[in-house]
Structure 1
């Protein structure tokens, strides 16, 4: 990153943030709050990321021309729903107004050696995510664990048509890590394709965000991380971003995701 001061990092992170509420007790009131929070005094977040059942509500709240994109999750969080079910889930989400689909790959099948299951799932969902709908694939790197498996999953997702590769659901014990990010960002470079990266789960402070942005800059160059190539998936990061931008103390406790 060229930007090194906490305030500049915070402003950058805000523009890359998928403000997330995938809590089990999320309700319409929480979605109203999320949509309001995404429009900050310092500018909008890149997106909100929510359960499919709330997409139509969020679209009505944000309006058709909002700069804030609506992302939703499919095959989430287990990664083991039938392809037809996931395709139907995706089609409904897009009809309801989703701009971005965050798809959990069948990572358990991949661990068992079934690469074809991953290709089939991503290919089927890609087929119904017509441009400008963005397809992010969640690898669940904390469950893949092995470096070679994370790299293989990254290349499988990229070659199957993913627009982004994303670390995690935020629903397992180990979510985004710098080690996984390094493997994934290098896989994008190796592929030669214009694919983005999303760190999700565990990025809670501007200092955390800075580590990921610096890693991306090292691998892809200082100007690579923009909303079309880089996102943070987080619920608690926004509070720290706002604290830094307002000149208050950073690093206070925040949400787990």
Structure 2
């Protein structure tokens, strides 16, 4: 039980508490920001649609330990480079600290890897002070070689973190995809983080991903600066473990 609580505490500190549901509204944003400051400490970030960034900044304040993340080119990855760049720039101007950008993964699958390079580089240039997480949509890429290529291209174009998934497709984070992404991170030659997102709803599942990171990168690597969970339902299970209450809620996506 002590070990289980230690895992929950690690995961809580690395959590991007997320509401990217179609039903998200101002009341939901206020509730999410309130929940993010838990009795066991703050989560790493809240992750919201761009239209709610300014509201979240107003609730959390300018110097909050809880960061504000948003998404661009989301969820399809099919937006124009100019549109994605403008969306990212506007989000940071509204108060976002972190930008999760979906790469044009369908273009990559069709053989146009340069589209990934150009999209990530444009967002990086538009938002030089923001943390840039690149969403690979690994469950759709599926192939280990494509996931590895997407990882290498995103890193080369300026990404700060690799993220598995939007949480909006049938297959989201998997241990196999995360292992491939961790290999690319290990070979990057500069510090790169990882965000596992979609389908992570229990402390036990979160613990498996932390163990993968520990094995690949060392036991002190997975911390908020380098490792995140993207989830909407994980927080309840983590708090139950930390409180010593019964758990076992099934995993969900966003």
Q: Same fold by TM-score, threshold 0.5 exceeded?
A: yes
The correspondence for 2:253, drawn from 242, 253, 256, is: 256
Q: Does residue 224 in structure 1 map to residue 216 in structure 2?
A: no
- TM-score of the superposition, structure 1-length normalised? 0.97
Q: Does residue 187 in structure 1 map to residue 184 in structure 2?
A: yes
1:189-228 residue CA offsets vs partner (Å, 9 max, x unmatched): 0122200000000111000010000000001000000111
Q: How many residues align?
A: 254
Counterparts of 1:77-116 in structure 2, within 5 Å, are: 77-116=75-114
Q: In 2, distance between residues paired with 1:160 and 1:202?
A: 28
Q: Which residue of 2 aligns with 1:152?
A: 149
Q: Which residue of 2 aligns with 1:42?
A: 40
Counterparts of 1:100-139 in structure 2, within 5 Å, are: 100-131=98-129, 133-139=130-136
Q: In 2, distance between residues paired with 1:256 and 1:225?
A: 22
Q: Secondary structure at the match of 1:181?
A: helix
Whether the 8 Å contact between 2:139 and 2:173 is mirrored in structure 1 is: yes
Q: Which residue of 2 aligns with 1:168?
A: 165
Output the aligned Cα RMSD: 1.2
Counterparts of 1:197-216 in structure 2, within 5 Å, are: 197-216=194-213
Q: Which residue of 1 aligns with 2:63?
A: 65
Structure 2: gaps spanning 5 or more residues: none
- TM-score of the superposition, structure 2-length normalised? 0.98
1:169-208 residue CA offsets vs partner (Å, 9 max, x unmatched): 0000000000000000011001222000000001110000
1:139-181 residue CA offsets vs partner (Å, 9 max, x unmatched): 0001101000000100000111000000000000000000000
Q: In 2, distance between residues paired with 1:194 and 1:252?
A: 34
Q: Which residue of 2 aligns with 1:52?
A: 50
Q: Does residue 247 in structure 1 map to residue 244 in structure 2?
A: yes
